[in-house]
């Protein structure tokens, strides 16, 4: 079963960008005006969090915490060419990392077989039946940053531009990192050095 894509429509029209900027400014003036942004991004942020944890209630609590931090720090947000969503996902990423580090939540890997297939295609490895189990196991052992990147690209279908915005790196750097990572993973999969 293919999960709904959690990737926000990253490329907004100019009108949409302006509307969102106005909403942010309004919310910076009056916290109660945060509602439209909350309604717009609640589901995407929830899915981002839920992708990384086990329980729905846990995801709900963490999502609430993300939006609380967003509201508390909204005065410091500036539009710098990246969508507001990138800023939110960055807060979510950091909040998750903090919760995992303090052992208040468990980092879980949620994979779908279709996404594993896509990964193997990108790796130029067509022996899916032979390696998909090993690949899934390999994912549980990745460094946190590497796992985030794989999830954002293959499970959440985010563009490199979006990934770069969330991880605070350039789009190109995101591509290079991902493909190096896939190369390393392929070597480990096939035991070639």
Partner 1 sequence: MKDRKININRPVITAGEIESFKDFGSLVNRYESASRFRYYKFGVMGLAVAAVALIVILTVWRTPAGDPSVAFVNPPMKGIDIGYSSYKVDAAQGAELTYKTGSKIKIPQDAFLDKNGKVVTGNVDVKYREFHDPVDFFVSGIPMTYDSAGTTYHFESAGMMELTAYRGSEPLIANPESKIEVSMASRQAGNEYNLYYLDTVKKLWVHKGKDKIAECEPQQMIDSVASNQPIPAANEAGDTSLVYPDYLRAFGYDDKMATIGSELDKVKAELKSVEDAKPFKPKKATLNGRKFNIDVDPKEFPELALYKGMYFEVGEENKNFDAKLYNVTWEDAQLTENVKGVNYQLTLSKGKEKHDLIVYPVYEGEDYDKALKLYGNKFSEYQSTLAEKKAEEKRKLEEYQAKVKKLEEERQAQMKKIQEEQEARMKAWAEQQKTWAEQQREIDEAFAMTQISGGAKDQGILRVFTISNFGFWNCDRPQIMPREKVLAARFADAEGNELKFGYVYLAEKGRNAIFTYAPNFNSLGFNPKKENWLWGVAGGNRLAVFMPEDFRNIPAGKASHTFVMNVVERKFNSVEEVREFLGLENNKSAQVL
Give me the residues that bind partner 1 (CB under 8 A), please: 1, 3-4, 31-32, 34-35, 38-39, 42-43, 46-47, 50, 54, 56, 59-60, 63-64, 67-69, 71-73, 76, 90-91, 94-95, 97-98, 101-102, 106-113, 136-137, 139-142, 145, 167-169, 177
The pair of structure tokens assigned to 91 is 């807060």
Q: Which is nearer to partner 1, 102 or 192 (CB)?
A: 102
What distance in Å separates the CA atoms of residue 168 and residue 178, rounded to the nearest whole number? 14
> Smallest gap, in angstroms, from Cβ of residue 184 to partner 1?
12
> Smallest gap, in angstroms, from Cβ of residue 67 to partner 1?
6
> Smallest gap, in angstroms, from Cβ of residue 14 to partner 1?
27
What distance in Å separates the CA atoms of residue 54 and residue 188, rounded to the nearest whole number? 27
> Smallest gap, in angstroms, from Cβ of residue 71 to partner 1?
5
> Smallest gap, in angstroms, from Cβ of residue 154 to partner 1?
14
Q: Which is nearer to partner 1, 52 or 186 (CB)?
A: 52
Q: How far is CA 32 from CA 27, 35, 41, 102, 157, in A?
A: 7, 6, 16, 31, 32
Q: Which is nearer to partner 1, 16 or 73 (CB)?
A: 73
Give one DSSP letter per residue of 4-46, joined into a string. Answer: PP-----S--HHHHHHHHHHHHHHHH-GGGGHHHHHHHHHHHH
103: left (phi over 0), alpha (psi -120 to 50) or beta: left
Q: Which is nearer to partner 1, 140 or 187 (CB)?
A: 140
What distance in Å separates the CA atoms of residue 164 and residue 176, rounded to the nearest whole number? 11
Q: Which is nearer to partner 1, 60 or 82 (CB)?
A: 60
> Smallest gap, in angstroms, from Cβ of residue 45 to partner 1?
10
The secondary structure of residue 56, as a DSSP letter, is: H
Q: Which is nearer to partner 1, 27 or 123 (CB)?
A: 27
For residue 134, the tally of other CB atoms under 10 A from its CB is: 14
């Amino acid at each position: 079963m293919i999960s709904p894509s959690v990737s926000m429509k990253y490329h907004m029209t100019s009108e949409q960008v302006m509307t969102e900027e106005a909403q942010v400014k309004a919310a910076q003036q009056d916290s109660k005006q945060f509602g439209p942004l909350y309604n717009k991004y609640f589901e995407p942020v929830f899915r981002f969090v839920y992708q990384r944890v086990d329980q729905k209630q846990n995801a709900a609590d963490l999502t609430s915490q993300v939006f609380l931090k967003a509201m508390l720090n909204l005065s410091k947000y500036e539009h710098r060419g990246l969508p507001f969503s990138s800023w939110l996902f960055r807060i979510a990423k950091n909040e998750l990392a903090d919760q995992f580090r303090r052992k208040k939540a468990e980092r879980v890997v949620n994979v779908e077989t279709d996404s594993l297939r896509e990964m193997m295609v990108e790796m130029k490895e067509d022996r899916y039946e032979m390696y998909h189990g090993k690949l899934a196991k390999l994912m549980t052992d990745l460094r946190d940053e590497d796992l985030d990147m794989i999830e954002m690209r293959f499970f959440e279908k985010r563009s490199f531009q979006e990934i770069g915005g969330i991880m605070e790196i350039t789009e190109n750097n995101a591509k290079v990192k991902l493909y190096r990572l896939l190369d390393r993973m392929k070597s480990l999969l096939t035991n070639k050095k």
